[in-house]
Amino acid sequence: MVKKSSISLAAGCFLAVSLSIGCASRAAAPVVPAAKPPVEVAVLAPSWATEPELYTIGAESLVRGLSVGGGLRPRAVPAAASCADESGCLDRVLSGSAAEEVLVVRLAALGDTVLVRAAMIDRRRGTQAAARQEVVHDATPARVEKALQDLGAALAAPFAPPPPPPPPPIVKTPWFWAAVTGGLAVTGAAVLAAVLASQRRPDVVITPP
């Protein structure tokens, strides 16, 4: 006959395993919010506010800068920044476009110095959402292109998606509690078997008179 202590030990092992399984089921992976789709940006080619134009600058450097971070989807459009000053010009150029923002860049030269000013325009509201500027000394086409790319990256930074959350502590991962559960089950079964074996009734030996 098995003593009450054996029954209590078995019940304790079963309870520990049950609690571990419960913890493992509750240790679900953290909920990661769905990433927002990139914001469409129409990029106008930079235009010179001073005469004469020193050189022709395209929108390619701006597009590369705006692509940093993945929060924006820039697209160059076949129009210069001066289009933003003409009534109805943007509506014609962006007809059928899903762009939410419009990037307008002005260049101004004073000797060998070039002022680069970029403004992000909210297309729906018609208001300026952000602006950056940079002064390029001893300006060359390559240096101006680099300034345009840097300004694009600076304007794109606020739109970048947040970094992924850090991994959960090891004690909150399902596999950790699964390992604990398995260990408890094996240990409990071994201890229970040992206890039952030690409490087995001895054989009765009948000695003849």
Question: What is the pLDDT at residue 92?
Answer: 86
Helix (H), strand (E) at residue 131: strand 127-136
- pLDDT confidence tier of residue 27, bands split at 50, 70 and 90: very low
State mean pLDDT over 117-137.
90
Tell me where in the chain the CATH 3.40.50.10070 domain(s) lie.
39-159
Q: pLDDT tens for residues 6-22?
A: 445 445 554 554 555 55
- pLDDT confidence tier of residue 24, bands split at 50, 70 and 90: very low
Q: pLDDT tens for residues 89-99?
A: 888 888 888 89
In sign, the C-alpha dihedral spanning 139, 142, 145, 151 is negative
| Contact yes or no for 28/87 (Cβ under 8 A) | no
Q: Which CATH class is domain 39-159?
A: alpha beta
Span of 21-30, 85-94, 104-113, 150-159 with lowest mean pLDDT: 21-30
pTM: 0.64
| Contact yes or no for 84/24 (Cβ under 8 A) | no
Looking at the DSSP bridge assignments, the partners of residue 40 are: 73
| Contact yes or no for 89/29 (Cβ under 8 A) | no
Residue 44 has pLDDT above 60, yes or no: yes
Give the whole-angstrom CA distance, residue 116 versus residue 157.
18
